[in-house]
Amino acid sequence: MIPTTIKSATGPLYPAAFAVGATLPLIVTAVVLAAGVDVQALKRRVPAWEPWLRRGAGVIFLLAGINDTLLYWFL
In the chain, the percentage of residues whose pLDDT exceeds 70 is: 95
Burial class (CB in 10 A: 0-12, 13-18, 19+), 5: middle
**32 compared with 3, residue with greater pLDDT:** 32
Nearest-angstrom CA–CA distance, 34 and 37: 8
3-state secondary structure 32-74: HHHHCCCHHHHHHHHHHHHHHHHHHHHHHHHHHHHHHHHHHHC
pLDDT at 70 over 70: yes
Kindly report whether the global pTM for this prediction surpasses the value 0.75: no
Confidence category of residue 50, pLDDT binned at 50, 70, 90 = very high
* d(C-alpha 13, C-alpha 70), whole Å: 21
Q: What does the domain layout of the chain look like in residue ranges?
A: 1-37, 38-75
Of residues 35 and 2, more confidence is placed in: 35
Q: Using one digit for the tens of pLDDT, what is the confidence trace for 2-27?
A: 676 677 777 778 788 888 989 999 99
